[in-house]
Structure 1
Amino acid sequence: MAPVPKISAASLAEHREATRERILDAWGELLRRHGYEKITLAQVGAEAGIARTALYNYFADKEALLIAHTTRESATFVEMIRRELGGADSAAERLRRYIRLHLTDFAARPPIPGRDLMQVLAPEKYRELLSHTEMFEAPLREIIDAGAADGEFDTDDPAMTTALVLGCLFAERTPLSTGKHDLDKAVEHVTAFLFRALGCR
């Protein structure tokens, strides 16, 4: 059994947060190596350096771990997107950067081993997992709204346009993560396609 770590943080709350982050780091590493179905909570505890029984104080099961890890990774990525978009002086330039950032992230993440999560998770849990895409939608919707207001983009339905742009980007996820598509070519083609669709040059 893995040893129970000593509390070294300044407070119990800080200790719990540090332990939670360590568990999520361990989960992410095991997910990349083995895939969702082959991971056990005992493995997660061993990787994180805590007892399996202590793990239940943070996460009830593998599904909770998966959703928490995905949410954390998505939030970190969206923070980076907002930083990178900050210096752009037009909606078109922000959209150009948004496209490249998304596709670059897809290319940097190898596919998770095993079956697709849609085949593994219960339907309600899979829907909950997918809800993290709403984080990506917010900065993109701001770009589309600004471009429509300034006359850069030709759209009378920013909400639908946002959904269509995201759909186009996520269509490149598997081809890029598996190396089937070249990143630079994908960025060039997707950017050109979306800019034509938006009536933007």
Structure 2
Amino acid sequence: MPRLTSGSTISEHRAHVESNLLDAFETVLADVGWDALTLRDVAVQAGVSRTVVYNYFRDRASMLIAWTGREMDQFLDLCERELAPAKGPVRRLELLVSLVLAEYACQRGPALEIHGVLSPADKAALMDHVEPLRDLVTHILRTGHDVGVMDCPDVDMAAQVVLAALESQRDALHQGGRLDDAAERLWPLVQRIIGVMS
């Protein structure tokens, strides 16, 4: 039986160790960037052996995928809390746009210029993390269209365009651009995309 250093069950212990490894990955990524990042560095940061890291992750791409999944889960939890009291789909979408832009502005470390070096399978796994956010935007747009405050009959396409518009602000915000400027530029465009009814 393995010695449990945290948690009362093996699953709790594994979840704790994995969380610590992902915290270490985040720190190393912010410090040295993707190109220089090694699992050895992550192990040192986490205070464990490389063998422990390999018990959880096959390589740095699998660690990146797990980390981005955790980040998205935490972001969606935040969205659920912040959007719950909002009155109406237009206000909900406005808040969501603000939250996404704020997330871009707060991201740590160098920009991840790694999409081109990932395998097709890893790229697909990384993109899967965006699906819940796309589903949330689509749900808001469908609700807005159904109740007559938005004119966007093709909500799937509108959701993709809204997400692309948000993505267009990522680099500028990551490099220190002003959040209020980005929101002021983007929100009128989003309103036109979704056909906000006055």
1:88-136, Cα deviation, whole Å (9 max, x unpaired)? 11000001100100001111114526x7112322233223212211121
TM-score by length of 2: 0.92
Residue 165 of structure 1: SS of its match in structure 2? helix
Query: Are the equivalent residues in 1 in contact too, given 2:105–2:179 (CA < 8 A)?
Result: yes
CA distance in 2, matches of 1:9, 1:194: 46
Residue 20 of structure 1: SS of its match in structure 2? helix
Report the equivalent of 1:59: 57
Query: Are the equivalent residues in 1 in contact too, given 2:6–2:16 (CA < 8 A)?
Result: no
1:185 maps onto 2:181 in alignment? yes
Deviates more, 1:35-44 or 1:140-149: 35-44
Unaligned runs of 5+ in 2: none
Amino acid at match of 1:192: P
Q: Superposition RMSD on alpha carbons, in Å?
A: 1.8
CA distance in 1, matches of 2:12, 2:143: 40
CA distance in 1, matches of 2:28, 2:54: 18
Query: Are the equivalent residues in 2 in contact too, given 1:155–1:198 (CA < 8 A)?
Result: yes
Residue 154 of structure 1: SS of its match in structure 2? coil
Deviates more, 1:8-17 or 1:119-128: 119-128
Report the equivalent of 1:35: 33
Amino acid at match of 1:80: L
Deviates more, 1:5-14 or 1:183-192: 5-14
Q: 1:153 Cα shift? A: 0.7
Unaligned runs of 5+ in 1: none
Identity of aligned residues (%): 31
Query: Are the equivalent residues in 2 in contact too, given 1:31–1:39 (CA < 8 A)?
Result: yes
Residue 56 of structure 1: SS of its match in structure 2? helix
Q: Give the total of aligned pairs.
A: 196
Residue 42 of structure 1: SS of its match in structure 2? helix
